[in-house]
Amino acid sequence: MSIRENLLALKSQLPEAVTLIAVSKTKPAEAVKEAYDAGQLDFGENRVQELVPKAAALPADIRWHLIGHLQSNKVKYIAPFVHLIHSVDSIALLKEINKQAEKNNRVIHVLLQIYIAQEETKFGLSFEEAEALLHSEAFLSMKNIAVDGFMGMATNTENMEQVRKEFRSLKDFAMKMRKTEQDFPLLSMGMSSDWKIAVEEGSKMIRVGSSIFGGR
Ligand SMILES: *Cc1c(COP(=O)(O)O)cnc(C)c1O
């Protein structure tokens, strides 16, 4: 199937309130353009070095999401235009994002990446660390940051009950952290293999790469 067909098939299964981020990492700008021409506007990349040249080469109305680990010294390259950073995992990084956002006279929207998997390799904060960060003086004094919610990656396993439990734990945490009853934190959960479960567990943003663009 073509990128266009993959996208339309996926979208037809997705509730309207859920945003699809097409993860275009390692794929050429032409592949992004093909998805864009099929109506896709939200794209995710996990490396700044790859995101910046693609953003320069592609239509300006694309909303670029940074979904991979971000080093503080790279924030300045994406600060002028990034739509949402899903992968904030330290107060030091948040400080730098706030500083660069101020320089660009804008508010940068971010998610805190929470470590929910039973794996050693994933980045992210524990629930305790995220809670401490959100209550810290340093965070509360930042004027150019909006924390919209949380991102989590489930364990890469066939055991879908475990995956479901991990997503549910992040949803429960997000509900616990909200400031008012009307506040609904944004949850970025779910990839090609597990997005259906993520949506059942309350995800509002899924990050799908290989099901759209093919294997990497
Ligand atoms: C690569 C990546 C995805 C997409 O993975 P697929 O299995 O190709 O859908 C989602 N989220 C993050 C953080 C990624 O790095």
Spatial distance between the Cα atoms of 191 and 193, rounded to a whole number of angstroms = 6
- Write phi, then psi, for 142 (nearest 5 degrees): -80, 125
For residue 195, which atom of ligand 1 is closest to its CA? Answer: 9
CA distance 120 to 117: 8
**What is the average pLDDT score of the chain?**
96
Which of 202, 155, 149 lies closest to 174, judged by CA? 149
Question: pLDDT of 121-165, one tens digit each?
Answer: 668 999 999 999 999 999 999 999 999 999 999 999 999 999 999
| pLDDT tens per residue, range 36-64 | 999 999 999 999 999 999 999 999 999 99
**Which atom of ligand 1 has the smallest separation from the CA of 191?**
9
How far, in Å, CA of 188 to CA of 111, rounded? 8
Q: Ligand 1 mean position to 208 CA, how many Å?
A: 6
Distance between CA 199 and CA 189 in Å, rounded? 8
| 125 Cβ closer than 6 Å to some ligand 1 atom | no
Dist CA 194 CA 164 (whole Å): 9
Our mutation pick for probing the ligand 1 site, out of 24, 27, 67, 122, counting the most ligand atoms within 8 A of Cβ, is 67
Cβ atoms of 61 and 41 within 8 Å: the answer is yes
Look at ligand 1, atom 7, and give the residue with the nearest C-alpha: 192
Asked if 86 and 151 count as a contact pair (C-beta separation under 8 A), the reply is: yes
- Ligand 1 pocket member 65 (CB < 6 A): no
Tokens 């899903």: give the residue: 86
Q: Which atom of ligand 1 is nearest to the CA of 68?
A: 13
Q: Which are the contacts of 165, defined by CB distance < 8 A and separation ≥ 6?
A: none
Higher-confidence position of 202 and 179:
202
Average pLDDT over residues 63-92: 98
